[in-house]
Amino acid sequence: MKITGSTVARHLRYAVGTGCFLLCATFLVGAVAGGIGDDGMGMLAAVSLISGGICILPEATRILTTPFTNLIDYIYLGTSKVEAPPFSLRMARHYRSEWLLDEAVVEYRRLRDWHPGRVEVWKEAILTLRELGQPEEAARWCRASRRYIKDGAGRKLIGEAMSQTVAPPLDRAF
């Protein structure tokens, strides 16, 4: 494992969090024992517990929210990264048909990340970028598609998208 600043910071947070939880346990034992200042011990235990929770919050958040976000991704993007994402692709196509090209590009980026092997995602995104007047970005997408699209027919479709004549958006035509 490579040691970086973020690794050291994460381990330092773990150490401080563990220390805070141990202090919390110590203060709770003192509060339960009923010694002098048991109210103060209870307050110190609560402060230590909150401090320890704050130290481990980034990792705890990721661990606790992963099942929920996976469920949302399953519903929104389809059952797997290989299968076609019907809802998202329809949404991107709808944005494109309504000339909401910026929103369509956002959807195509999301689709590209989840379904990089889908030729229609790359092709439609390239056409949309060209319609937006961003031929350099469309060319970057075309080059990037070569990593994921290996079959000749798919590459031909993407090449056709790069050479197709596209109409400018309505608001730019006037």
Number of Cβ within 10 Å of residue 118's Cβ equals 20
Helical H segments across 78-118, by residue range: 86-97, 101-114
For the segment 53-75, the average pLDDT, to the nearest whole number, is: 80
Sign of the CA dihedral with 147 first, then 149, 153, and 155 last: negative
What pLDDT is attached to residue 139?
Answer: 87
For the segment 135-143, the average pLDDT, to the nearest whole number, is: 87
Mean pLDDT check: name the lowest of 51-60, 77-86, 95-104, 132-141: 77-86
What pLDDT is attached to residue 5?
Answer: 60
Domain assignment present for residue 53? The answer is yes
CA distances to 81, 124, 129, 135 from 90, rounded to whole Å, are: 17, 12, 17, 24
Amino acid (1-letter code) at residue 41:
M
Structural domain total, the chain: 2
User: According to the per-residue pLDDT averaged within each range, which of 64-73, 79-88, 102-111, 149-158 is highest?
Assistant: 102-111
DSSP 147: T
Are residues 94 and 168 both part of a single domain? yes
What pLDDT is attached to residue 115?
Answer: 79
Instruction: Report how far residue 20's alpha carbon sits from residue 134's, in angstroms, rounded to the nearest whole number.
Output: 53
Are residues 41 and 92 both part of a single domain? no
Domain assignment present for residue 76? The answer is no
Q: CATH code at 134?
A: 1.25.40.10
Percent of the chain, pLDDT > 90? Answer: 0
CA distances to 14, 47, 57, 89, 98 from 54, rounded to whole Å, are: 10, 11, 5, 39, 45
Q: Which domain holds residue 38?
A: 5-71
Tokens of 17: 């969090």
CB-based burial, 50-81: b 16+ in 10 Å, e otherwise: ebbeebbeeeeeeeeeeeeeeeeeeeebbeee
What pLDDT is attached to residue 84?
Answer: 47
Are residues 51 and 96 both part of a single domain? no
For the segment 136-153, the average pLDDT, to the nearest whole number, is: 86
Are residues 92 and 157 both part of a single domain? yes
List pLDDT tens digits, range 37-56. Answer: 667 777 888 888 888 888 88
Q: Which of 73, 92, 72 is nearest to 83 (CA)?
A: 73
Average pLDDT, the chain: 79
